[in-house]
Amino acid sequence: MANRGGLGRGLGALLGETAGEVHAQERDAAVTELPVASIEPNPNQPRKHFDEDELRSLADSIRQNGLLQPIVVRTQPTGYQIVAGERRWQAARLIGLERVPVIIREVSDDEILQLALIENLQREDLSPLEEAAGYAALINQHGITQTELASLLSKSRSAISNTLRLLDLPAEVQDLVRDGSLSAGHARAILTVSGEEGRCALARKVVAEGLSVRQTEILGPLFSVKTQSAPARHEVAPQSYKHAANQLRDRLSAKVSVKTVRGKHKIEIEFGDEQELERLVTTILGGTDARS
């Protein structure tokens, strides 16, 4: 099981910063500058999408005021890896900064995902699916239980569980959540539908008609009902049909049925093998060879 030592230390202790600013003593003691080119992003960063408009806005602010909050990094054999602050690093690259202020921390592989996830959650930077994927990574890769994760993030266990369930959505529905067409509330309502086909159908209806979360919740049970094809309805055949069947049965020496199904009339003749089929065809054609 992975080492959970970082769980008790907290984001502030490991990063030396609050959600909005660097601690004064940490800033004075540990801030240095590094070349932007020597820093690489964390491949396990929970946040996968950075809004281009927000990046440009941050880049403009950095251009005018400088990078006021250092990026937190850890040492790597090839240079440095971002622990927290990838959005600031992206914006700095956007305006061509050559060097940026950083705080260097010795952070283990077990801790870095935890810290990246917590940082993004504190800043509300993650989409619902990114949040769910981050939770799953912490649980699956680092041996953290849902209860421990709830305590770490100051959330209820049910909130963690409900967010993780978003990963059970079909890919089509996840794409709609990812691009903002569906909210997390819509997604949770769609999860009440059993079966992938029903979930996709409800999601399409919600997007097409702009339904609210409450309307989606009401419709959920209707899309959970599995539609089954109605059994064929056999109508009572007239007496003349029965008489005709008896005549054919006598003539062909075979079992014959005359039926009416959904308004259509059918004659069914049973046979056992290929030879019997040839005999029936020959009899019906009045003695003509069935193979001619």
- The pLDDT tens digits of the residues spanning 45-84 come to 666 667 677 788 888 888 888 888 888 888 888 889 888 8
- Mapping DSSP to helix (H, G, I), strand (E, B) and coil, where does residue 212 land? coil
Residues 117 and 43 in one domain: yes
Residue percentage of the chain with pLDDT more than 90? 18
Asked if the structure places residue 254 within a domain, the reply is yes
End position of a domain, from candidates 186, 203, 224: 224
Over residues 239-247, mean pLDDT? 79
- pLDDT tier at 121, thresholds 50, 70, 90: low
Q: Answer yes or no: is pLDDT of 205 > 70.
A: yes
Residues 11 and 119 in one domain: yes
pLDDT at 17: 42
pLDDT at 12: 46
Q: pTM score, two decimals?
A: 0.49
pLDDT in tens, 258-269: 877 666 788 888
Residues 206 and 242 in one domain: no
Q: Containing domain of residue 247, as a range?
A: 234-284
Residue 255: which H helix or E strand, with range? none
Residues 114 and 49 in one domain: yes
pLDDT in tens, 172-187: 999 999 888 999 899 9
Domain containing residue 76: CATH number: 3.90.1530.10
Asked if the structure places residue 145 within a domain, the reply is no
Asked if the structure places residue 155 within a domain, the reply is no
Give the C-alpha separation, 286 to 268, whole Å: 19
**Of residues 49 and 275, more confidently modeled:** 275
Asked if the structure places residue 292 within a domain, the reply is no
Residues 194 and 267 in one domain: no
Length of the chain: 292
Q: Answer yes or no: is pLDDT of 15 > 70.
A: no
Give the C-alpha separation, 250 to 263, whole Å: 27
Residue 222, C-beta contacts closer than 8 angstroms, at least 6 positions apart? none
Tell me, what amino acid is at 108? S
Q: Which residues are catalytic?
A: 86
Q: Which of 24, 126, 4, 106 is nearest to 70 (CA)?
A: 24
Residues 18 and 111 in one domain: yes
- pLDDT tier at 212, thresholds 50, 70, 90: very high
Task: Quote the mean pLDDT of the chain.
Answer: 77
Asked if the structure places residue 158 within a domain, the reply is no
Q: Answer yes or no: is pLDDT of 216 > 90.
A: yes
Total count of domains within the chain: 3
Asked if the structure places residue 278 within a domain, the reply is yes
Give the C-alpha separation, 70 to 215, whole Å: 46
Asked if the structure places residue 133 within a domain, the reply is no
Q: Answer yes or no: is pLDDT of 203 > 90.
A: yes
Q: Answer yes or no: is pLDDT of 255 > 70.
A: yes
49-53, 95-99, 164-168, range with the lowest pLDDT: 49-53
End position of a domain, from candidates 205, 224, 243: 224
**Of residues 280 and 1, more confidently modeled:** 280
Asked if the structure places residue 45 within a domain, the reply is yes
Residues 21 and 60 in one domain: yes
